[in-house]
Amino acid sequence: MTVPEFSPAFWFLAGAVAMLVLPARARASAFLLFPLASLIHIWFLPTGVLQAYAYLDHELILLRVDGFSRGFGLAFSLAALVIGIFSLRVTDRLQQTAALFYAGGSIGVTFAGDFFTLLIFWEVMAVASAMIIWAGPGRAAAGAGLRYLIFHLFGGALLLAGIVLLWHGGGGLEIRRFDAAASPAVILILLGVLVNAAMPPLHAWLPDSYPKAGVTGSIFLNAFTTKVAVYVLIQCFAGWEILMWAGCFMALYAVCYAVMANDIRLILSYHIISQVGYMIAVIGVGTEFALSAASLHAYNNIIYKTLLFMGTGVVLHAVGTTRLTDLGGLARRMPLVVALYMIGAFAISGFPLFSGFVSKAMILEAMGENGGWLVHVLLLAAVGTFLSVGIKLPYYTWFYRESGLEVKPYPAHMPLAMAILAAACLAFGMVPGWLFAWAPSAVEFQPYSVYQVVEALQLPLATFVAFWFFRHKILGEPKIALDLDWFYRKSAPLWETLFITRVNRVFSATQDILDHWTEKAFAFARNPARLLREVPDRFDANLQRADLGSNVGLILVVVVLLTLLSLW
């Protein structure tokens, strides 16, 4: 089947426009059409550079298909579709429009063939995702959304600076693998991408904002931004050894915060960072097998992470809180949700027979061959993953003790969406060949070796035993752990004084001085006695302005100066 060759992002952009005009009752169902169209479209797209326009001296490549972009594009479209099913009850026009713009931006980046196109879709993503956060409830969401937007505009500025330098250096703008001999342009691009990948210390926007979005908002957010960054890292920075170290650090750092967190959506938010750490580490290895491992782990991650976020979404929808210290004993009221959540939790923890096992085994294999002892850091992170997502979160949420919270009924399409994803988790785990079919290059790998299975069983077993003995100590008190966002959240008043109040004061002082002296000079020229006249000491833009004489004088000064300069 031949399909029209334009970027599948346009399905989503068209959908976003449609959301603006459709009535509330039709919107949620119409929402599903656009990811579905994109899914089918990507499936049938041939490989190669398909849509390009000449612009100035280079080409804008809107559609370039290869193994990676096809896989990521399918995963993103699938996620948008299933989250759409989960959100069938949403009626908020802003959120639905922003969600489609956001998904469209992600797909646009995935299929972009040059950095200029990438940048445009990148900014669309940033703004649309900030809108999703703003759609969340309360003042906390408003503040977090603003911080999020500023952080991402900063990342976008880094990216833009890198792209301008790249263009200026004559390197051409097409997206390609950079070799590890770094130039300033490439470093700037890397930093811009790492902001989106939430690499510590550039990660603080993620745990700050994702838990504050609405029920469906945070599900949407989790699937796209970081994975798009992973995609760009795969395309451009494969084999950069530093990424191996950075990724391992990232995986462990975020896991520690996840263990400390008291909010279930915060736990999952930190696990986004930790999982991306796995992918980045293996991108640093850079072999063909490693890149397949990174992208397959990303696809799996999109699926099970969305499933987990949906589980917490149902909890939030049903009881209205996500703090572990308030929850407990809800299992009997939502047994199906618990079961589906646990499938996701086993998948992220890499249990045999679940999808995470397959891609995690590939990552450990690739790291073990090239990374030496670093693989043990990843194993430690895996322990923390199972501890927080696999045991702590479900145990205190659904078991442990009766919280006495009132449970609202939740609509049936929520567990339906979860069931679709859970089925995918199980299928990819039991038949690894189905997963390998998505890989960008052919994969010859047998995940179910004795070594892998033993490791994947003993680690969680030990974790469970340790947890059980300390289970009354671990829950703790309702507290938050400070992260690097402290630096800009606590210092906000300082920045405001420094960059707004002070700056304003400097400028009004400058204006004062300028006005003062022009006025003095011309007053003196006209009537020396006026020198003694009093001048009001506060700057008020509306009352005090340079008088007509100063303006006329200024014109004459410029005329004379320029004439002198020219005729000298």
Partner 1 sequence: MTGDHSVVLIPVIFFTAALLVPLCRRGSRRWPYWVALVSSLLGVAASGEALWRTLSTGEAIHYHLAGWRPPMGIELIADPLSAFFCLLITVVTVFVLWHGRSLVESETPGKAVPFYSCVMLLLGGLSGILLTGDLFNLYVFLEISSIAGYALVAIGDKRAPVASFRYLILGTIGASLYLLGVGFLFMTVGSLNMGDIASVLQTRAMSPVEISALLLIVLGIGVKMALFPLHGWLVDAYTHASSTATSLIAPIGTKVAAYVLIRALFYLFDTDLVREGIPVMNALAVMGAVGMLWGGVLAMAQTDLKRMLAFSSVGHVGYIALGIGLASPLGFIAAVLHTLNHSVMKAVLFLICGSLRQKLGDNALDSMNNSLRLRMPWTMAAFTLAAISMIGLPPTAGFFSKWYLVLGSLEQGKWHWVIVIVLSSLFSVVYFFRVLERVYLRPQEGAEEEPAPARDESRPSMLAPVLILSASLLLLGLGNVMIVNHLIRPMLPAGF
Partner 2 sequence: MKLVGWIFLFLIFAGTVAAQYWDDPAKFPAYYFVYGLLGCLLLLFVTKVVAKKSIMRKEDYYDRS
**Which of residues 14, 30, 164, 187 is near partner 1 by CB under 8 A?**
164
Collapse the DSSP code of 127 into the 3-class scheme (helix H, G, I; strand E, B; otherwise coil) and give the result.
Answer: helix
Asked if 457 interacts with partner 2 (CB under 8 A), we say yes
Q: Closer to partner 1 at the Cβ: 169 or 335?
A: 169
**Which of residues 145, 217, 247, 460 is near partner 2 by CB under 8 A?**
460
Rounded CA gap, 339 and 332, in Å?
11
Stretch that binds partner 1, among 117-125, 213-221, 325-333, 399-407 (CB under 8 A): 117-125
HEC secondary structure over 25-56 = HHHHHHHHHHHHHHHHHHHHCCCEEEEEEEEC
Number of residues that bind partner 1 (CB under 8 A): 37
**And the tokens for 411?**
């609509």
**Which of residues 187, 466, 521, 546 is near partner 2 by CB under 8 A?**
466
Rounded CA gap, 135 and 523, in Å?
57
Stretch that binds partner 2, among 119-127, 159-167, 452-460, 512-520 (CB under 8 A): 452-460
Task: Name the binder of 476 from partner 1, partner 2, none, CB < 5-8 A by kind.
Answer: partner 2
Asked if 541 interacts with partner 1 (CB under 8 A), we say yes
Distances (CA, A) of 177 to 235, 321, 377, 545: 6, 45, 27, 57
Long-range contacts of 528-533 (CB under 8 A, 24+ apart): none
CB distance 435 to 330 below 8 Å: no
Rounded CA gap, 481 and 169, in Å?
44
| Dihedral angle sign, alpha carbons of residues 248, 253, 258, 259 | positive
At its nearest, how many Å lie between partner 2 and the CB of residue 489?
5
Asked if 140 interacts with partner 1 (CB under 8 A), we say no
**Which of residues 26, 142, 431, 461 is near partner 1 by CB under 8 A?**
142
Return the residue matching tokens 């960054």: 229
At its nearest, how many Å lie between partner 2 and the CB of residue 387?
6
Task: Name the binder of 108 from partner 1, partner 2, none, CB < 5-8 A by kind.
Answer: none
Rounded CA gap, 295 and 279, in Å?
8
DSSP state of 530: G
Helix 355-370 to helix 413-430 angle (10° resolution) is 50
Stretch that binds partner 1, among 68-76, 367-375, 408-416, 549-557 (CB under 8 A): 549-557
Stretch that binds partner 2, among 256-264, 407-415, 426-434, 495-503 (CB under 8 A): 256-264
Rounded CA gap, 431 and 167, in Å?
46
Residue type, 535: V
Rounded CA gap, 358 and 363, in Å?
9
Q: Closer to partner 1 at the Cβ: 134 or 341?
A: 134
User: Residue 252: exposed, middle, or buried by beta-carbon count in 10 A (0-12, 13-18, 19+)?
Assistant: middle
Q: Closer to partner 2 at the Cβ: 242 or 480?
A: 480
At its nearest, how many Å lie between partner 1 and the CB of residue 558?
6
**Which of residues 474, 508, 520, 539 is near partner 2 by CB under 8 A?**
474
**Which of residues 16, 81, 124, 133 is near partner 1 by CB under 8 A?**
124
**Which of residues 500, 519, 521, 523 is near partner 1 by CB under 8 A?**
500
Asked if 546 interacts with partner 1 (CB under 8 A), we say yes
> Under rule CB under 8 A, which residues in 42-101 are in contact with partner 1?
53, 55-56
Asked if 450 interacts with partner 1 (CB under 8 A), we say no
Q: For the chain, how big is the Rg over CA atoms in Å? A: 28
**Which of residues 1, 2, 44, 168 is near partner 1 by CB under 8 A?**
168
At its nearest, how many Å lie between partner 1 and the CB of residue 16?
12
CB distance 11 to 34 below 8 Å: yes
CB distance 296 to 362 below 8 Å: yes
The values of phi and psi at residue 174, to 5°, are: -70, 150
Stretch that binds partner 2, among 18-26, 470-478, 495-503, 510-518 (CB under 8 A): 470-478
At its nearest, how many Å lie between partner 2 and the CB of residue 144?
10
CB distance 103 to 228 below 8 Å: no
Task: Name the binder of 55 from partner 1, partner 2, none, CB < 5-8 A by kind.
Answer: partner 1
CB atoms within 10 A of CB 241: 13
CB distance 448 to 352 below 8 Å: yes
Rounded CA gap, 186 and 167, in Å?
11
Task: Name the binder of 509 from partner 2, partner 1, none, CB < 5-8 A by kind.
Answer: none
Can you say whether residue 480 is alpha, beta or left, with left for phi > 0 and alpha for psi between -120 and 50 degrees? beta
Q: Closer to partner 2 at the Cβ: 37 or 364?
A: 364
CB atoms within 10 A of CB 179: 11
Q: Closer to partner 2 at the Cβ: 223 or 342?
A: 342
Asked if 119 interacts with partner 1 (CB under 8 A), we say yes
Stretch that binds partner 1, among 95-103, 186-194, 420-428, 550-558 (CB under 8 A): 550-558
Query: Which residues lie near partner 2 (CB under 8 A)?
Result: 255-256, 259-260, 376, 379-380, 383-384, 387, 450-451, 453-455, 457-468, 470, 473-474, 476, 478-482, 489-490, 493
Query: Which residues lie near partner 1 (CB under 8 A)?
Result: 53, 55-56, 119-120, 123-124, 127, 134, 142, 146, 164, 168, 500, 503-504, 507-508, 511, 539, 541-542, 545-546, 548, 550-552, 554-555, 558-559, 562-563, 565-567
